[in-house]
Structure 1
Amino acid sequence: MNIIIIEDELRTAKSLENIIRAIKPEAKITGQYQSIESSVEALSEGAQPDLVFMDVQLADGLCFEIFKAVKVTCPVVFCTAFDEYSLEAFKNNGVDYVLKPFSKDDIKDALRKVDELKNFFQQKTTPDIEELLSRLSPSGGKTSFLVFRNQKYTTVHVDNIAYFYINFDATSIMCFDKQKFDVTQSLDQIAAAVSSKQFFRVNRQYLVNFKAIKEVEHYFLRKLHVKLVIETPEKLLINKEKSRNFLTWMEDR
């Protein structure tokens, strides 16, 4: 398998290369590129691999510009620190969407999905569309979280969670009944685990449940102010760059 890596952080690119080589020793990394311009140039000159690992935010813009400039015929695994581009990723050859910081298991799962899809097409001359979509679509997400309080372990179902938030460098859960629990996972890890249809990362500190949203109003400098049915310690503000994605997410029910 020939693989190229498109990643503008050299340390991350090297780490990804080492993980891929450890999981698939037979794989060949045939190119590494840091920008849209260099990637388009390489792909235009015939450097079509079997698989691409691609960062979303590159030094000279979003990677989706690559697909507008050149035809990419192979599967793509997107790696990014942000979860709001998942829909666009799956429109552009995406077979997986890995959130940074990724682990060896994350990359292993992504490579497994690629192998499964390859076998799927080899075994079926007429693919079952519903089965294929189920393989490509992100999972329904984590349904509960294990919490520890008063020397006891218990689980909290995501439907009972109004929002997750960062509280003094720790991650906490706020439930609709106003119970608060601390969890060991980071907010990035939680955002990657729960359903993106049910929860939205409004900013770096808050991940909110759709059912918790009471109303949304325009705010200064084209931001949005999100009001929840449960009061939050700070105002929930969404910057203008993310506002459109948020409103689309709210409408997509």
Structure 2
Amino acid sequence: MNIIIIEDEFRAAKSLQNLLLELKPDSKIIDVYDSIETSVEALSKGIKADLIFMDIQLSDGLSFEIFKQVEITFPVVFCTAFDQYMLDAFKSKGVDYVLKPFSRDDIAEALKKVDELKTFFQKNELPELEALLQKINQPQSSGKTSFLVFKNQKYTTIPTENIAYFYIHNEITHLMTFDKQQFQLSQTLGQVAEQVSQKQFFRVNRQYIINFTAIKEMEHYFQRKILVKLTVETPEQLLINKEKSHSFFTWLEDR
């Protein structure tokens, strides 16, 4: 595996080189660039690699500028001390996002993720990943406009746009509205996922499907998970594992 490192901190770059060569002994570090200018110059000349490890805050600006000046057709793992750029990183063809100070396990996990993507697509070409994301982002049907519910001996319909989230409790599917009314459903959560708009709703895990409109904020959590907070409180914490985080941020971006 041929690897490029874009990093303006000498110690971080050296540490990363050592870890990569330890974890992937057959790898070759093609070069290390410490700025947007030197990176663009090298990449513009057609230098090829299988993977880039890229810092975000470089001496002459944010590394996202590199993508505006040169086409990058291979996977990028972002390494940074700041978590506010996560969405921008995934928009810029990033396949993983490692926070500094990174550990051996962090880099090993990133390499594992890249290998899994290569195996899945059977070749190391990012355009294949883009094709999949484009398929995911194709317009979906508007989905159900309402759900029929029964409560207090009465039937009523709840407009889907008024639903903050669906969740499972005691093996029963419930919906929670934005005005904090809770109703039971006869459908399974899997059936609900097939019925609602995939553009508006996202299944974050086996227990929850959330409405985009209900999202309040997100933050990093233990073991590289994403903690999602909604405007309407949920019985448990909403956690998205690192394997699903990429598709989650792709969904967020598809507005």
TM-score band by shorter chain is: 0.5 to 0.7
Go from structure 1 to structure 2 and tell me whether the alpha carbon gap of 1:82 and 1:90 turns closer, same or farther (over 3 Å shift): same
SS of residue in 1 equivalent to 2:109: helix
CA separation in 1, counterparts of 2:10 and 2:223? 23
Give 4+ residue runs of structure 1 displaced > 2 Å after superposition: 126-130, 188-194, 209-213
SS of residue in 2 equivalent to 1:39: helix
Q: Which residue of the other structure, out of 195, 215, 218, is the alignment partner of 2:226?
A: 195
How far does the alpha carbon of each residue in 1:69-128 deviate from its partner, in whole angstroms, 9 at most, with x for none? Answer: 0011110000011111111111112110001110000000100111111111118xx989
Following superposition of structure 1 onto structure 2, how do residues 187-226 of structure 1 map, counting pairs within 5 Å?
A: 190=221, 193-195=224-226, 198=228, 209-211=229-231
CA separation in 1, counterparts of 2:114 and 2:65? 23
Give the corresponding residue for 1:29.
29
Give the corresponding residue for 2:102.
102
SS of residue in 1 equivalent to 2:122: helix
SS of residue in 1 equivalent to 2:47: coil
CA separation in 2, counterparts of 1:61 and 1:192? 29
Higher relative contact order (CA 8 A, sep 6+): 2
Cα shift at 1:48: 2.0
Q: Percent identity?
A: 58
Following superposition of structure 1 onto structure 2, how do residues 1-253 of structure 1 map, counting pairs within 5 Å?
A: 1-122=1-122, 129=132, 190=221, 193-195=224-226, 198=228, 209-211=229-231
Go from structure 1 to structure 2 and tell me whether the alpha carbon gap of 1:192 and 1:65 turns closer, same or farther (over 3 Å shift): farther
Cα shift at 1:193: 3.4
Task: Please provide the CA RMSD for this pair.
Answer: 3.5
| Contact 1:81-1:101 at 8 Å conserved across structures | yes
CA separation in 1, counterparts of 2:132 and 2:47? 30
Tell me, which stretches of 5 or more residues in structure 1 are unaligned? 134-139, 142-162, 164-187, 199-208, 214-248
| Contact 2:53-2:76 at 8 Å conserved across structures | yes
| Contact 2:220-2:226 at 8 Å conserved across structures | no
Tell me, which stretches of 5 or more residues in structure 2 are unaligned? 137-203, 206-216, 234-251
CA separation in 2, counterparts of 1:107 and 1:211? 34
SS of residue in 1 equivalent to 2:96: strand
| Contact 1:83-1:191 at 8 Å conserved across structures | no
SS of residue in 1 equivalent to 2:41: helix
How far does the alpha carbon of each residue in 1:159-202 deviate from its partner, in whole angstroms, 9 at most, with x for none? Answer: xxxx9xxxxxxxxxxxxxxxxxxxxxxxx974773425x2xxxx
Structure number with larger C-alpha Rg: 2
TM-score, normalised via structure 2 length: 0.53
TM-score, normalised via structure 1 length: 0.53
How far does the alpha carbon of each residue in 1:131-177 deviate from its partner, in whole angstroms, 9 at most, with x for none? Answer: x97xxxxxx69xxxxxxxxxxxxxxxxxxxxx9xxxxxxxxxxxxxx
SS of residue in 2 equivalent to 1:195: strand
SS of residue in 1 equivalent to 2:32: strand
Go from structure 1 to structure 2 and tell me whether the alpha carbon gap of 1:190 and 1:26 turns closer, same or farther (over 3 Å shift): same
Go from structure 1 to structure 2 and tell me whether the alpha carbon gap of 1:210 and 1:59 turns closer, same or farther (over 3 Å shift): farther
Count how many residue pairs are aligned between Structure 1 and Structure 2. Answer: 155
Go from structure 1 to structure 2 and tell me whether the alpha carbon gap of 1:61 and 1:212 turns closer, same or farther (over 3 Å shift): farther
CA separation in 1, counterparts of 2:223 and 2:81? 10
